Amino acid sequence: MTNLITQTSDGGLSVPDSPIIPYVEGDGVGPEVTAAMQSVINHAVQTVYSGQRSIVWKEVLAGGKAYERTGEWLPEETMQAFRHYLVGIKGPLTTPVGGGVRSLNVALRQGLDLFVCLRPVRWFEGVESPVKRPQDVDVTVFRENTEDIYAGIEWEAGTPEAEKFLRFLREEMGVNKVRFPGSSSLGIKPISREGTERLVRAAAQYAITTGRKRLTLVHKGNIMKFTEGGFKRWGYEVVEREFAEDIQAGRLVVDDCIADAFLQNALLKPEAYRVVATPNLNGDYISDMLAAQVGGIGISPGANINYTTGHAIFEATHGTAPDIAGTDKANPCSLILSACMMLRHIGWSEAAEAIEAAITSCFQQGKATADLARFMKNGTPLSTSSFAAAVIENTSI
Ligand code: NAI
């Protein structure tokens, strides 16, 4: 019996009962939140599936620990492991400063072409929120992960490259609209048909299979007609071409919204949105704004996924929190909830539901780490490890 998760011919996943899942512990609070996450997941999987299923955790190195042991921040062996085992999870990683080292997170996303940044946002009862009805917020954001500003193509004002590019714009493209050419930095925003189609296709599929139905394309096509406007047009085209039957049967409803209007509407009537597909920069603002509404900016889960190859890395969305590292104070919810996304992704939804219900019970009892407990009326601040123990105690079938 193999322990390998593989992709099936129809693009789904074939998952053995004891799959090997590579994990990166992460830097700073990473080891603490990873240990908490693994204990919660192991217990839930064991309980829910009566010992029939388990996860075989395989540690792979990245970040500070990798650098100490191998002299490399992101060893090729780690990339190979994520490639080979398809599904993995990671704690936060320090972004190495200087020396031309790329962000490790960006390197992982690019190396595996993880084109969707998936951010589900929902409220947990008991968590303090700045809005009146946080329970109305239940949106999954599909943020494009490889184009737009993430392409990282820009030149600093005054450099020979910026001057050369400006000359090209002026002399060969007839562009005379740069208001202060002598002191402008310049950037390029690529958005393609293929990039849009694969993102919107994944979001539409998700809206259908989860029964969420409504998919909203969020863009600034009123101003940037060919990039953001292209995203809107190609987005509609791909769903009309590939999901006509689902649209006809009412399983999928697609609309669009201009990004600034979306930010207003999502605050005033968040229940109108269920699945959002959007280019990179809009997605950055939208994910954090929605997470703030549910008081969950520190506990929001996330994943980076390539729905074509099946590669997926689930991750804590916060950083390494160096100020509290090693003190057993960090909130492990972001990584635990990311692991729940991972369980759903491999089809083990029952275990994910059990853990989310246990977290809800803990919050209802005022049991949380200090960052959340201090805002709860009945809040009891717990350490990372005690909170994990409380979640385990509250996990039942
Ligand atoms: P940060 O998220 O590490 O910390 C910001 C504030 O939030 C700090 O006060 C911290 O104590 C608090 N915080 C963060 N996570 C928490 C948790 N789980 N429980 C309780 N409090 C928590 O952001 P910062 O300081 O900007 O970045 C520190 C390092 O992390 C940098 O090297 C940065 O590049 C890296 N980073 C890595 C990310 C990743 O791997 N996905 C994401 C963001 C930052």
Distance in angstroms (rounded) separating the CA atoms of residues 9 and 135:
39
Probe residue for ligand 1, chosen from 313, 320, 374, 386 as the CB with the greatest number of ligand atoms within 8 Å: 320
CA of 199 to the centre of ligand 1 (A): 28
Q: Whose CA is nearest to atom 23 of ligand 1?
A: 319
Per-residue pLDDT band for 101 (boundaries 50, 70, 90) equals: low
What is the amino acid identity at position 51? G
- Predicted confidence at residue 98, as pLDDT, reads 63
Q: How much is the average pLDDT of 192-216?
A: 97
What does the pLDDT average to over 159-171? 95
Tell me the pLDDT of the chain averaged across its residues. Answer: 94
Say which residues have a Cβ less than 8 Å from residue 179's Cβ, sequence separation at least 6: none
Closest atom of ligand 1 relative to the 371 alpha carbon:
20
* Nearest-angstrom CA–CA distance, 352 and 358: 10
Per the annotation, the verdict on 307 as an active-site residue is no
Atom of ligand 1 nearest to the CA of 331: 19
Q: How confident is the model at residue 99 (pLDDT cuts 50, 70, 90)?
A: low
Q: How far apart are CA 376 and CA 28, in angstroms?
A: 26
Q: How much is the pLDDT for 316? A: 94
Whether the per-residue pLDDT at 1 is higher than 80: the answer is no
Average confidence (pLDDT) over 216-225: 97
Dist CA 83 CA 77 (whole Å) = 10
319 alpha carbon – ligand 1 mean position (Å): 3
The dihedral region occupied by 147, where left means phi > 0, alpha psi between -120 and 50, and beta the remainder, is beta
Contact of 94 with 321, CB cutoff 8 Å: no
Helix (H) or strand (E) holding 155: strand 153-155
Atom of ligand 1 nearest to the CA of 91: 40
Probe target for ligand 1 pocket from 37, 103, 318, with the most ligand atoms within 8 Å of CB: 318
Q: What is the position in ligand 1's atom list of the atom closest to the CA of 103?
A: 34
Average pLDDT over residues 226-254: 98
Q: What is the pLDDT of residues 15-70, one digit of tens each?
A: 999 999 999 999 999 999 999 999 999 999 999 999 999 999 999 999 999 999 99
Please name every residue paired with 105 in a beta bridge, in sequence order, or none if there are none. Answer: none
Per-residue b/e over 216-231, b at no fewer than 16 CB within 10 Å? bbbbbbeeeeebbbbb
Give me the residues paired with residue 312 across strands: 87, 305
Q: What is the DSSP letter of 269?
A: -
Find the helix or strand (DSSP H, E) in which 97 lies: none
Average the pLDDT over 208-218 and give the result.
97
Q: Which residues pair with 251 in a beta bridge?
A: none
Predicted local confidence at residue 364, as pLDDT: 93
Where does ligand 1 bind, in terms of residues with CB under 6 Å? 29, 92-95, 105, 298, 315, 318-324, 330-331, 334, 371
Question: Given pLDDT bands bounded at 50, 70 and 90, which one contains residue 305?
Answer: very high
Let me know if 328 is a catalytic residue.
no
Q: Which atom of ligand 1 is nearest to the CA of 335?
A: 18
Q: Whose CA is nearest to atom 21 of ligand 1?
A: 330
97 has pLDDT over 70: yes
Question: Is there a catalytic annotation at residue 132?
Answer: no
Judge contact between 188 and 256, C-beta under 8 A.
Answer: no
Catalytic residue among 85, 150, 273, 307: 150
Going from the Cα of 298 to the center of ligand 1, the distance in angstroms, rounded, reads 9
Cα 392 to ligand 1 centroid, rounded to whole Å? 25
Mark residue 26 as left, alpha or beta (left: phi above 0; alpha: psi -120 to 50; beta: remaining). Answer: left
Tell whether pTM > 0.85: yes
Tell the residue nearest (CA) to atom 35 of ligand 1: 319
- The pLDDT > 70 percentage for the chain reads 98
Q: DSSP assignment, residue 148? A: G
Q: How far apart are the CA of 223 and the centre of ligand 1, in A?
A: 34
Distance, CA of 378 to CA of 77 (rounded, Å): 47
Active site residue 213: no
The rounded distance, in Å, linking the Cα atoms of 96 and 299 is 24
Both tokens of residue 170? Answer: 């002026």
Residue located nearest, by CA, to atom 38 of ligand 1: 319
Residue 318 CA to ligand 1 center (angstroms) comes to 5
Q: What is the pLDDT of residues 317-375, one digit of tens each?
A: 999 999 999 999 999 999 999 999 999 999 999 999 999 999 999 999 999 999 999 98
- % of the chain exceeding 90 in pLDDT: 88
The 10s digit of each residue's pLDDT in 79-96 is 999 999 999 999 999 887
Say if CB 166 and CB 181 are below 8 A apart. Answer: yes
Residue 107: per-residue pLDDT: 87
Identify the residue whose C-alpha is closest to ligand 1 atom 43: 319
* pLDDT over 80 (residue 100): no
